[in-house]
Amino acid sequence: MESATQALATQVGGHAGVMTTEDGSLLIKPAIRAEAEFYQALQQDPALASLREFTPRFLGTLKLEGKVKDTAGNEGEALVVEPVYVEGEIIIFRYPQSIVLENLSFSFLKPNILDIKLGTVLYDDGAPPDKVARMIETARKTTSLETGVRLTGFQVYDNVTSLAVNTPKSYGKSIQPSQLGEGVAKFFPVGTVVEGENPAPSSGLPLKSLLPILRAIRDEVAEIREAFANLELRMVGGSLLIVYEADWTRAEEGLKKFFEDEEEEDEEDEDDDDDDDPTKRIGPPFVVKLIDFAHTKLVPGAGPDEGVLKGMDTVLRLLDERLKEID
Ligand code: ADP
Ligand code: MN
């Protein structure tokens, strides 16, 4: 029997083709071997253990079994096929498998989502020379080389229409380093009540929710930075994915629960068995994780990835600046 999957409606960056399971809780992403292997290593390799909590939960890989024959009658491995439109033409990508991941936006009512591409080096060691040249040029012409970040894409809910407004990757590619702050402000707008016949909240959370959420996101990025600084990895083309709740009531409830949980943790540091049951759990009103490990490698002895750390420092600075602006 085939189970129903659908395109991920909340995808803000990357290649098309990310699917969700019927209930939306899991993602199925076509992946090259290197990404599937990195996720597997994350579960098993003690050298990567400290990074696991900062990545989406990994449930395994899906592979099409058996051999297939192409139209010419040649036999080959069954592959996951992902058709992509590029300038009006369909290009078919074939992947050996898909990875199954936790959908980080699943527990949100109105997820505001930002994908920040990290790093100053956007090419893999093994890339052909023309791709290396193109990627160096892309990094130089965008914010990547100077700051280690590029705003890949984001969505922000308009609470009046209840629609997610998307900012495509062309925006993040076009701006200068000095405009990154404006971009971050677009993703963290301060909400007000729009007066009228039916007063309604505008896009953005009211300050009383936005401030603690921004601070908590900042703290989480700082923790990720600390863990990453102790690892000998090269992460090319990977991202920080930031999600926070845009619904006023849900954000407030989520924050209340978040701070209650923190107090509990301080009081008694015992295992909470609610943690294993996703249905019981009211998630925090934000999530920050590292995603996209198609071009991430372990480099024992070579030290941390300075370009990615630079990007994380830029993110911390931008969040601090946004906090100062609105506080
Ligand atoms: P690509 O190699 O195509 O860039 P990514 O892993 O970056 O693939 O995924 C593309 C997009 O899919 C991301 O920008 C994000 O919007 C969404 N996405 C990826 N992983 C997750 C996840 N675990 N939870 C929610 N959204 C995700
Ligand atoms: Mn990506």
Reported as type and span, the H/E element at residue 174 is: helix 169-174
Torsion of CA 118, 188, 203, 116, to 10 degrees: 0
- Ligand 1 neighbourhood includes 27 CB (under 6 angstroms): yes
Model pLDDT, residue 1: 43
Residues 169, 228, 103, 58: is their CA dihedral positive or negative? positive
Q: Whose CA is nearest to atom 2 of ligand 1?
A: 14
Give me ligand 2 centre to Cα 122, in Å.
11
- Ligand 1 neighbourhood includes 56 CB (under 6 angstroms): yes
- Ligand 1 neighbourhood includes 112 CB (under 6 angstroms): no
Give me ligand 2 centre to Cα 207, in Å.
30
Which ligand sits closest to the CA of 294?
Answer: 1
Per-residue pLDDT of the chain (327 residues; tens, 9 = 90+): 456 789 999 999 988 889 999 999 999 999 999 999 999 999 999 999 999 999 999 999 998 766 667 667 777 766 777 666 666 777 777 888 999 999 999 999 999 999 999 999 999 888 899 999 999 999 999 999 999 999 999 999 998 888 999 999 999 999 999 999 999 999 999 998 888 887 778 889 999 999 999 999 999 999 999 999 999 999 999 999 999 999 999 999 999 999 988 888 777 655 544 444 444 455 689 999 999 999 999 999 999 999 999 999 999 999 999 999 999
Model pLDDT, residue 281: 52
Angle at 132 between CA 128 and CA 136, to 5 degrees: 175
Give me ligand 2 centre to Cα 114, in Å.
11
Residue type, 186: K
Q: How many CB atoms lie within 10 A of CB 81?
A: 12
Task: Tell which residue, 201, 229, 210, has the closest CA to residue 313.
Answer: 229
Model pLDDT, residue 80: 73
Residue type, 302: A
pTM of the model: 0.90
Give me ligand 1 centre to Cα 82, in Å.
15
Do residues 325 and 185 lie in contact, with contact meaning Cβ atoms separated by under 8 Å? Answer: yes
- Ligand 1 neighbourhood includes 164 CB (under 6 angstroms): no
- Ligand 1 neighbourhood includes 135 CB (under 6 angstroms): no
Model pLDDT, residue 199: 78
Model pLDDT, residue 40: 97
Place of tokens 């301080």: 266
CB-side neighbour CA atoms (13 Å) of 199: 4
Token pair for 182: 């404006």
- Ligand 1 neighbourhood includes 155 CB (under 6 angstroms): no
Residues 52, 58, 59, 61: is their CA dihedral positive or negative? negative
Alpha carbons 159 and 113: distance in angstroms, whole number: 15
Model pLDDT, residue 70: 67
Give me ligand 2 centre to Cα 301, in Å.
27
β-pairing, 58-62 with 75-77?
Answer: unpaired
Give me ligand 2 centre to Cα 8, in Å.
14
Task: Tell which residue, 280, 218, 214, 210, has the closest CA to residue 252.
Answer: 210
ipTM: 0.99
User: Which atom of ligand 1 lies nearest, measured to the CA of 293?
Assistant: 6
Task: Tell which residue, 188, 172, 169, 189, has the closest CA to residue 180.
Answer: 172
